Structures are given as C-alpha cells and as structure tokens.
Amino acid sequence: MTGKFIQRQKVTENIAAAMPLAALNPDDLAGLKVLVAGDFMLDEYVWGRVERISPEAPVMVVNVERENRVLGGAGNVVNNLVGLGAQVEVLGLSGRDTAGAALEAELTRLGVNPAGLFADPQRQTTRKTRVLGGSQQIVRIDRENRQPAAPWFARLAEQHVKTLLPDLDAIILSDYGKGVLTEPLLTDLITRGRESRLPVLVDPKGRDFRRYRGAAVITPNRREAELAVGYSLQNREDMLRAGQELCRLCDAQAVLITQGAAGMTLFQPNEAPADIPAQAREVFDVSGAGDTVVAVMALGLACWGQPLLAARLANLAAGIVVGKVGTAPILRSELAAALAGQPAGQPDKILSLAELRLLAPRLQAQGKRLVFTNGCFDLLHWGHIKFLEESRRQGDLLIVALDTDESVRRVKGPCRPVIHEGQRRRMLAALETVDYVTVFSSEQLPEILAALKPEVLTKGSNYPATEVSGREVVQGYGGEVVLIPVTDPVSISSLIQQICSESR
C-alpha cells in the first residue's frame, strides 16, 4: 500500500484550495503513473480519391491512397496522459487479430507497455473505420463486441493490477459499455484502489451508476447524468438535484458533471456545488473532451489532492481540445501555455518527441501530408530559408528535427555549433514556413521516422539519394524521399573561417 495520495493531500490540502491556476506547473504531472482500465478501440482512417460512381450501385468508388490508425476509446485517455508526460499502464481486451496487433503496436509506439491488453480469440478488436473521399467522410464501419468479458479475464486482471498497485498514483476506469468493465471487475478495481489510498476515477456509461460505487470521482456529461438519474436536466435546480443524488448513489468523493458550453459543476458531499465556467474558446469538435477531462482530473487529484483544483485544471484542458478539429489529446506544452495566459489559437511550435508521436497521426487523420527534415541549422542563412520553403511545399505541414549541441559536435567537430540549440530552435520556430520543431540526437533518426511516419523526407540535393539517412525507413513504409535542389551551397565552416580571418 503506497499511501502516496494521502501523503500529498496532507502536504497540499490547505494551500491548494485557494491556489490560482496560474500558479500550477504542469511539469508536476509528469512522471505520475496511472492505470487506465476499460474499453480500448482502434480508430482507422482510410483516405482516397472519388472520381466515379460504382456501376454496381449508386455509391461512390474510393481509390484508397493511404491509411492510418490511432488509439480510441480508453486509448484516447492514454493519449491524453502520455501528452502530459505521465507514465501509463493499461488493462483491457482485444481480439487475437490484426487490429489487436495494431493496438499493441500503437501503445508501444507511445512508450506504453501493452502487457495489460489481453487477447481473447473469441472476440474481435473494437474498431471504427472511417472512409474519406478527399476531406469528406463517406461512411463509418464499426466492428465491436458488447458481451461481458470471459471469467478468465477477471483472474488475469486481478493478478496484473496486484503487481502494478505499489507504483500507481491513480486509476482511471474508462467505460464505453463494450463489456470489459464487468461489475465484479469494477468492484475489485475500486476496492483495491481505495485500500491503496489511490484516487479511482470513472468516465461512466449506461443507466446504473451503482456499478461505480466507492470510486473517488465520477465524470459524466449532462446526457450520461440524465440517463443515470432518470430525468432531464433542464435547469439549474435539476442539475443540483442530480449531482447530489449521484454523490449519494455512488458514495463518491466528488461527481463532476460536464455541460459543454455551460462549463462544469463539481459536487462533493457536505460542500456547496461549484460551477466552473467554460473557457471562452471557439469550439470545433467536442469528441474526446471527456477523455481529456478524466485524464487531467486524475493527474490533478493525484498531484495536489484537491477535487476543485483538479476540476478547474481539467476544465482548462477541455477548453483547449474542443478548439481542435477531430478527437485530439492535450499536450503538456499547450496546458503550460494556457496556464501562462497565452491566447488561444497560438500553439507552441517547439514540441518534445513524445508530443510529436501523439500529434503526427492525429494530423494525418485530418488528411494532412507531413514533411520531415532534419539538420544542424547552425548560423541560419538564406540557403536554409529557401530549403525550408521548398520542403514545406512538398506537403501540408513541415516538421524540423534539430540536432542537439552534442550531436552537432559529433558530426561537425568540437568548435560547433556556434549557436546553442535553444536559440537555434527558437529561430526555426519563428519562421512561418516551419510548423513544428523538435530536438533530437542523430542516432535517433530511424526511430523517429518509424514513429512519426511522415509522408515526405527532404534533404538537400548536395546529398546523393543513397546517402540520405533514414531513406530505407521512409521508403519501407511507403513514404517518399525528396531531394531539394541546392543551387548556391553555403559552407558554414568556410563562413566561420572567413569571419575569424576578417576579425584579425
């Protein structure tokens, strides 16, 4: 039994209640370990061209050009936790099929151990396949199971969780009603969490919330709360009544009812309800916002021990993700910018590799063609600018991977770089033609390309195609290597020598 949650709560209890959000540091959330148990899904996107109608039926014919897959369901909670720098363990079911293998591969790509994703040969992996012609979604094909998990899964789950408990900081139960979170398993997970003094949070499903009795926090949206209490929440009085009923019904430390544009209301036993206004942001897509709320709420509660403080932070995070197109997780850099008061719609271009691993497939799921290039970019000059502009023309978004100072020294010698990596990345990020900048070490390139899978890798034409580092990786998954013409090459070493000689 860890007692970590209680220890943090004793330390921060009095301070956190009155703490302004601007005083929070999202880096404090990094490294916390959270178990996500529930219904894991695979979201598939099939992109193609529509040029004719089928002669067999009055339907469009889609010529497939590319496909990509991302985690959905409980997996989107994982996306949010990873985006905030947390460590994640999982507990769920897949089929013993290619989609199940893809789920495992995607977890592994994000740095999450898939050992808790158990394969059942009698089930098919839950997946949602969206077919798009151009930018228009034509059809969605769902493949799923709803029958309760087999008894053997509960036994394996018990052993798996027992092994993980000593190192956990929180447990999230992400219920999409696909049969994984059976009542016996829910009772076991909630009981073990409480005995270990860990916050257990539930993103609920269905009409009977008694299944979640004893959890620390329940996070229904308005519609889910209405189903649970059996009446419509048409006004504030209905909302207050429902929140209090759910607190009693679930024996919860808190119930957080999310209400879209109306914000959120937090209910706690023996406390006045707390209304949390929605952030004033343009709303593009609310899908996935509930996953963001429960992920941030769990980390905030584990870190600071105060439901209201955690709920206010979750509300801020939800305001960020609904301003994005499509289901998208929150990134730690985005949360830090919002806490610092930066205006909405000004995303940070400088991202960690972990954040890019999350972001890249989401951008591709929106139909974006990603271009990737890498280099030292020491003493930025006009040749660099022309190269970056032409690289950007090869697709929709340009990602620049910048060599670390140590990596530059290994490649260029002990006197390089002239400009520190912190300044180099800020200069690149200031360019309109550059969409994202990350810092890497040269030996990581194959791993990064395999994780991001950009459609295009660019290099200057002064490099022979056969010597372009990462070429085999990109061409191996069907990507393209483009050599950008270099008509007036500039030697940085010669330039440095010229500056030194002229200064004598």
Which of the residues are catalytic? 291
Q: What is the CA radius of gyration of the chain?
A: 25
Q: Which of 479, 28, 41, 84 is nearest to 317 (CA)?
A: 84
β-sheet with 480-484: strand ranges across: 436-440, 397-403, 370-375, 456-460, 480-484
Indicate the residue type of 386. Answer: K
Contacts of 14 (CB under 8 A, 6+ apart): none
Q: Which of 167, 132, 264, 148 is nearest to 206 (CA)?
A: 148
Pairing of strands 264-267, 274-276: antiparallel
- How many other β-carbons are positioned within 10 Å of the β-carbon of residue 147? 9
Indicate the residue type of 154. Answer: A
Q: Give the span between the Cα atoms of 423 and 125, in whole angstroms.
A: 46
Q: Which helix (H) or strand (E) holds 91?
A: strand 87-95
Alpha helices in 413-467 (DSSP H): 421-429, 445-452
Indicate the residue type of 324. Answer: K
Instruction: Give the tokens for residue 279.
Output: 């952030």
Residue 444, burial from CB neighbour count under 10 angstroms (0-12, 13-18, 19+)? middle
Q: What is the DSSP letter of 122?
A: T
